[in-house]
Structures are given as C-alpha cells and as structure tokens.
Amino acid sequence: MAKFRVFRAAAALALSAALLTQPIYAAAFTDTSGNWAESAIEKWSEKYGVLNGYEDGTFHPDDPITRGAFAGILNRFLQ
C-alpha cells in the first residue's frame, strides 16, 4: 500500500507540473540586427520556436550550421 501511495503522489506531482508549465518565448538576439536574414531568424525563433541561439543571447547568423544543429532544427520543426 505504501508503494501505491508514493506512486500516486509522484504521478500527481508529474501531472500538475506538466499542466502548470508556462510557454517560454524566445528573446530577441543581440547580433542579428542589420543582418540580411534578421526577419527570417526572428520569425523562425519566435513564431515557430525551432531556432535557438547561444546562452549569451547571440545567434551568430554568419557562422556555418553543423549537421547536428540542422538535425535539431528539423526535429523541432516536425514535432
């Protein structure tokens, strides 16, 4: 019986955490201003939520994209 109570409490906690989460909106990147792809970067990061920048708030729009980064973007887009 004690195991069932622990399981029930854990399930209730997990369910409440899932229901009470707030969406996270992307902040504007500090290094995309004036870039030729600025509007597309903003749209794909804010509207679609598939582009993520770096922890320091930058995007590095002129850097080449890696295969792993592209796979992550494609995965987020298809979900």
Has residue 28 been placed in a domain? yes
Q: For residue range 5-23, what is the model confidence (pLDDT) as tens digits?
A: 777 777 766 666 665 655 5
pLDDT, residue 36, reads 93
Q: For residue range 16-66, what is the model confidence (pLDDT) as tens digits?
A: 666 565 555 545 788 999 999 999 999 998 888 899 888 898 999 999 999
Has residue 8 been placed in a domain? no
- Spatial neighbors of 1 by CB under 8 A, at least 6 apart, are none
Has residue 10 been placed in a domain? no
In 1-79 the beta strands, taken as DSSP E runs, fall at none
Has residue 13 been placed in a domain? no
Has residue 26 been placed in a domain? yes
pLDDT, residue 10, reads 73
Has residue 5 been placed in a domain? no
- Distances from the Cα of 38 to the Cαs of 7, 16, 18, 19, in angstroms? 48, 38, 33, 34
pLDDT, residue 8, reads 78
Has residue 52 been placed in a domain? yes
Query: Which residue, chain included where needed, has tokens 């109570």?
Result: 5
Q: How many domains does the chain have?
A: 1
Output the pTM of the full model.
0.59
pLDDT, residue 4, reads 62
Has residue 74 been placed in a domain? yes
Q: Say if residues 32 and 41 touch (Cβ distance below 8 Å).
A: yes
The C-alpha atoms of residue 79 and residue 77 are separated, in whole angstroms, by 6
